[in-house]
Amino acid sequence: MANIIQKKIVTSQLTLTSAIIVSIALWVVCYFVRPISNLIETVGAYALYALIGYLLIVINKSFAIIRLRASFQTVIYLTLISICPIIHSIYEGNIIALCCLISIFLLFNSFQKEWSAGLLFHAFIFWGIACIFVPKIVWIVPYLLYSCYIFKSLNIRSFVASIFGFSIPIGIYAVYDLWNSQGVEIVTKIADITKIEAISFDNSQLPIIVMLIYSFTIFMVSAAHSILHSMDEKMQTRCYLQFFIVTTSLLFILAFCCISTSTQLLPFIQIGNGLLYGHYSTLTHNKWSNLFFICILVFIIPVFIINLLF
């Protein structure tokens, strides 16, 4: 029975439409029970997440990461975003998620292209913009360059273009800050890169900790499946899945090392979760995947209640 339900949800053409309706309903509930921002900003935030969801469909159609139901990763993404009212506003988190997703799209487009300098230049420009808002993701830049090497798109020309592209937005921001406030913001952001903060289980941090644990559980199961069955995929798909596994792992490490920054990283984390769990759930239909699917549906209720009330 569970197998039938999971298969119908994953493969149905109405799943995305239903997910949008449910997510809007959850956002309405969150707005009246725990308003984070005014109505215009809330609508703007939902539009921003909807744009990210649309780009996830574009990425999947362009690179065939999930072979069935190209929209299911967006269903997962919108659902995970909707149950966490603390991120229902326009803030650094959804801005960097959008910038980094565009960067990833350009990075994937450079796969095995000899003349990739232009793509990588623009990819690292967007990542540099994201680093201005959340400096901690600068730690992921070395892995981006390594991924370019794995994608066989890295050469001297593209390497220089990548570094130059990454430096442009940061350099412009540094000059602006030096001109206006003698570099105070720059010093603060540099200090934030190495900041470590212990987890506190008080009421203020409980919702984000619960959300991180719930998201990390989904990630671990999905990533383990992708690793164990990686040889069933084409080389290009394996590279893309590996990229999201490592990137999302690094984001979780950064989030748990500094819990105050985790709210800003959560929208980006859910991008990886959406694609990885979408890949897992569309290709796996056994008793264990069905049990995990049921657990996700059951536990999403207390996670939402905790995020709504605390």
- Would you kindly state where each structural domain of the chain is located, as residue ranges? 2-85+94-309
Q: Which residue has the higher pLDDT, 18 or 97?
A: 97
> And the tokens for 35?
């308003």
Q: Which amino acid is at 187?
A: V
pLDDT for residue 10 is more than 70: no
pLDDT for residue 51 is more than 90: yes
Average pLDDT over residues 157-165: 92
> And the tokens for 234?
């084409």
pLDDT at 68: 67
- In whole numbers, what is the pLDDT of the chain averaged over residues? 86
pLDDT for residue 241 is more than 70: yes
Query: What's the pLDDT band for 200 if we cut at 50, 70, 90?
Result: low
5-9, 54-58, 136-140, 289-293: the lowest-pLDDT one: 5-9
Q: Which residue has the higher pLDDT, 67 or 44?
A: 44
pLDDT at 139: 92
pLDDT at 178: 82
Q: How many CB atoms lie within 10 A of CB 50?
A: 17
Q: What is the C-alpha separation between 267 and 273, in angstroms, rounded?
A: 10
Best-predicted range by mean pLDDT (13-17, 165-169, 187-191): 165-169
pLDDT at 253: 92
Do residues 186 and 177 touch, judged by C-beta distance below 8 A?
A: yes
pLDDT at 72: 83
Residue 197 bridge partners (DSSP): 258
Q: What is the C-alpha separation between 47 and 45, in angstroms, rounded?
A: 5
Query: What's the pLDDT band for 11 if we cut at 50, 70, 90?
Result: low
Average pLDDT over residues 126-149: 92
Do residues 110 and 162 touch, judged by C-beta distance below 8 A?
A: no
Q: Which residue has the higher pLDDT, 166 or 187?
A: 166
Average pLDDT over residues 221-242: 84
Q: What is the C-alpha separation between 247 and 268, in angstroms, rounded?
A: 10
pLDDT for residue 161 is more than 80: yes
pLDDT at 291: 83
pLDDT for residue 127 is more than 60: yes
Q: Which residue in this structure is represented by tokens 């979408």? A: 278
pLDDT for residue 61 is more than 90: no
Q: Which residue in this structure is represented by tokens 């506190």? A: 200
List the end-to-end C-alpha distance of the chain, in Å, as a whole number: 35
Average pLDDT over residues 60-88: 85
Do residues 281 and 72 touch, judged by C-beta distance below 8 A?
A: yes
Q: What is the C-alpha separation between 34 and 31, in angstroms, rounded?
A: 6
Helix 206-228 / helix 235-257 crossing angle, nearest 10 deg: 160
Query: What's the pLDDT band for 9 if we cut at 50, 70, 90?
Result: low
Q: What is the C-alpha separation between 38 and 49, in angstroms, rounded?
A: 17
